[in-house]
Amino acid sequence: MLDVFITSRVRRKIVVVYAKYPDFHTHVRGLAKLIKEDPGNIQRELKRLEKVGFLQSEKQGNSRTYFTNKQFPIFKELQSMVIKSQQYSARSKRGMADRD
């Protein structure tokens, strides 16, 4: 359901991870492995999400770690949308399985 509002597949996956797990800290390659997407695309989306304030980052050695900005003005609403969207998807899938 989030695909209607967040059209970039990679951005959507990133937002879901960081909204569901606000204490999650990772670098580009770790996130790429987790969501099975190209690190170059992930890096571009992480920079966009950091620029608007949804994410923050810090340099650790020669890599950059990204984490959720819990003070982002619409963080709680976005987090709620992600959770509700996943619950809706799970119910829809169960409903389809019941019909089979």
Name the one residue in this structure whose structure tokens are 């569901």: 20
Q: What CATH number is attached to the domain comprising 85?
A: 1.10.10.10
What's the number of domains the chain is made of?
1
Would you say residue 100 lies in a domain? no
- Judged on CB neighbours under 10 Å (0-12, 13-18, 19+), 63 is exposed
Q: Tell me: the pLDDT tens digits for 6-35?
A: 888 999 999 999 999 999 999 999 999 999
Would you say residue 53 lies in a domain? yes
CB 82 within 8 A of CB 89: no
In this prediction the pTM is 0.83
| Residue-number span of the structural domain to which 47 is assigned | 2-68+75-95
Task: Tell me what percent of the chain is helix, strand and coil, each rounded to the nearest 5.
Answer: 60, 15, 25
Q: How many CB atoms are closer than 10 A to CB 31?
A: 22
Q: Tell me: the pLDDT tens digits for 29-64?
A: 999 999 999 999 999 999 999 999 999 999 989 999
